[in-house]
Amino acid sequence: MSDQPLIQIEKTGPVAVVTLNRPEKLNSLTPSMLDQLEVAAGNLEADTALRAVVFTGAGERAFCVGADINEWAALAPLDMWRVWVARGHRIFDRWATLRLPVVAAINGPAFGGGLELAAVADVRVADPAATFALPEASIATCPGWSGTQRLVSLIGPSHVKSLALTARRIDAHRAYEIGLIDEIAEPKESLKEAIAIAERIATLAPVSVQLTKQLINAASGHGAGATLEAMAGALSATTQDAQEGMASFRERRKAQYEGQ
C-alpha cells in the first residue's frame, strides 16, 4: 500500500490543487478520505494566502467513481445513516460553502458520489472523454450526498431525474448542454485549464470574489441566512457606533450611540 495521503494538497502561490489520490480504485471514496477532505477544507479555509482551489482526481482513469461499495456495503443500516450519509453530507456542504472559489478539473468518469463532489465546485471543467452518471438505482440504493438536492438547483429536476431514474451515463458534450459543466477542455488538459481559471480568479479582489460567491450561493438557496447574518455583522462592525460600543464595554460606561 502506498504511503501517499489519500487527499493531496499542493500549493503554488495563491492557488491550491487538491487531488483525490486513490487512482488504483478510480478515486472511489472511503471513510478515511471523507475525514481527510474535511481536514483539508479547514486547512484551506484558514490559509489567508490562498485565493482559489482546484479539485481533481489522480491518474487518467477517473475523477471519482463515487463511494467505495465495499466500504459502505458492510455497514449496518443505522451506521449507513450516521457514519456514511450524514457525514458525507456535512463534508460536502463544508466544501460547497468554502470561502475560496473552487474549480473542479474533471479528468475522467464522475459517478455517484463523484458527481456529487464535482457539484460542490463553483466552476467545472471536464476532459472531453469524461462521463457522468448517478448509478445508485442500479445497485438498489439512492444518491446520498446531495445528488437529489444540490444537483437539482444546479441543472434542474428534469435533468437530475433523467440521470438518477435511468442510471445512464452521459458524455461531456451532453453535460455541457444541460449546464452540468462549464467548459470542455482540450484532451488531457482539464487540470491545466482549471488552474488557469483559478489563477485568473486569484488576480481579482479576493474579498469581492468571496462575497460574490456567498451571494450567488444564497440566491441558489444555499446558506442564505448565514450569508445575510455575516454581511450584516461585517457592515455593522464598520460603523462608529460599533467602535463606541466596544469602547463603552471596555470602559464600563453607558454607550452614546449616534446612528453613524
Q: Which domains are delineated in the chain?
A: 7-202 (3.90.226.10), 206-251 (no CATH)
Output 224 or 1, whichever has higher pLDDT: 224
**What whole-number distance in Å separates Cα of residue 178 and Cα of residue 181?**
8
**What whole-number distance in Å separates Cα of residue 124 and Cα of residue 191?**
11
> What is the model's pLDDT at position 73?
66
**What whole-number distance in Å separates Cα of residue 114 and Cα of residue 28?**
8
Segment 63-79 mean pLDDT: 78
In the chain, what percentage of residues exceed pLDDT 70?
90
136 a catalytic residue: yes
Is pLDDT at 78 greater than 70 in this prediction?
A: no
End-to-end CA distance of the chain: 62
Which of 24, 71, 136, 251 is the catalytic position?
136
Q: Name the average pLDDT for the chain.
A: 90
Strands (E), 154-238: 170-171, 183-184
Three-state SS at 125:
strand
Segment 62-87 mean pLDDT: 77
pLDDT-derived band at 1, boundaries 50, 70, 90: very low
| Range with top average pLDDT, 32-46, 84-98, 134-148, 237-251 | 32-46
Which of 38, 45, 116, 183 is the catalytic position?
116
Segment 190-195 mean pLDDT: 98
Output 1 or 140, whichever has higher pLDDT: 140
> What is the model's pLDDT at position 229?
66
Is pLDDT at 28 greater than 80 in this prediction?
A: yes
Task: Work out whether strand 183-184 and strand 123-126 pair parallel, antiparallel, or are unpaired.
Answer: parallel
Using CA atoms, how far residue 83 sits from 95, 119, 148, in Å, is 18, 21, 19
